[in-house]
Structure 1
Amino acid sequence: MTKARLKEMIDESSNIVFFGGAGVSTESNIPDFRSEEGIFKAKTQYGYPPEIILSHSFFMSHREEFYDFYRNVMIYKDAKPNPAHFALAKLEQEGKLKAVITQNIDNLHQMAGSKEVLELHGSVFRNYCMDCYKDYGLEDILESPEIVPKCKSCGGNIKPHVVLYEEGLDNEIIQKAVSYIAQADMLIIGGTSLAVYPAAGLVEYYTGDKLVLINKSQTSYDSRANLIINESIGKVLGDIVL
């Protein structure tokens, strides 16, 4: 009944927003952070906990160690979109879905065809020189002859355009996300435990009566949801939309 009800809610809606987390990408074989198989639980040979390595201060003081970890643990350039990504892209093409708001940095929503994607935490596919701000792609990071990639124009250090610990989210992206959620007649949240702030706080801006949570485990917002589905988000959306 839950899937049937979800389909009804989608059919009744014309201004849907999707808010997603790492669980959307795990079905594309990209590990999440906090599960038993996640990056934070894994033993690391890098000498520091992942939370430390992925911080702004560590990047500034230990760039070689940061990039060693970053290239080997954070980048999955061969990952492919799964049914959840394709289903959301199709809903956008049909005019129902207005935006995807994601905590992921893997570009899979865009690969599946989604156009309006707000990346709260940036993307591994975008990088920039810290001195002259020239843009660089993922291949520039992976193919750099140096451990810490250098700008081809000025020789400055290149930094991934991802939000590290101790760094703030992009205010313009946050404002756009707030606007989309506040205007939505349906908010679908998937693949996230809603434990990471300030991103999780965006849910507070939804005032409608079609709040849907699709997650394998419970979340702190379950009591406020109009529909809860504790299943694989790829299977749920794939079965209903594709």
Structure 2
Amino acid sequence: MTTSTPHIDPKGVDIAETILLPGDPLRARFIADTYLDDPTCFNEVRGMLGFTGTYHGRPVSVMGTGMGIPSISIYSYELIHFFGVKNLIRVGSCGAMQPGVDLYDVILAQGASTDSNYLEQFGMPGTYAALSSFRLLEKAKCAADSRDQRVHVGNVLSSDIFYNADADALSTWATMGILAVEMESAGLFANAAAAGVDALGIFTVSDNVLTDAHTTPEERQTAFTTMIEIALDLA
């Protein structure tokens, strides 16, 4: 495998075949410090922290990806093609878009619709549906059920736009049954599918765009423990 890329320089530290991918590098540090045995930092380039350790004796890595499809797509491409990662699990927060989806509920992204043009590069003669790995999805659903965690499985929106000039955009997506909005999964799922590896998005609801309920930034960094434990079970 490649020893380094423009964005990842492990300096000889192994990167595990299973990796958790939060957007925030500080959340990556929190996951490593809280859940992994003997975590070692494998990346500090551009402040995008990555760590490898073990969880119940199994090698696991965790690394921040930044916000948005362009950022996660760079990191996931390099992790897959240059470092041999096989299971990429996005963990993060999302904004619920359906009634009955409450704060702290967990969403498993079966698919990811998008308003991005990232998928155009693959030259598909139609509209490509970016799906997660059913193998990982099934295991994650079983892990959530074993914890009696309230969970929703379905389609999310990976949007390029955080502050949208079109005030009705999200409600239009919601009419098609989109569970929640986030900013990365469609790019991750497409990169994984193109390379023949597995990817999944697991999200904790941090706010609800219908009710304006929301959590604090501190809670988003440290409180979403069930989501992280479900993801770690997939190792």
TM-score (norm 1): 0.26
Q: Report the structure, 1 or 2, having the larger strand content.
A: 2
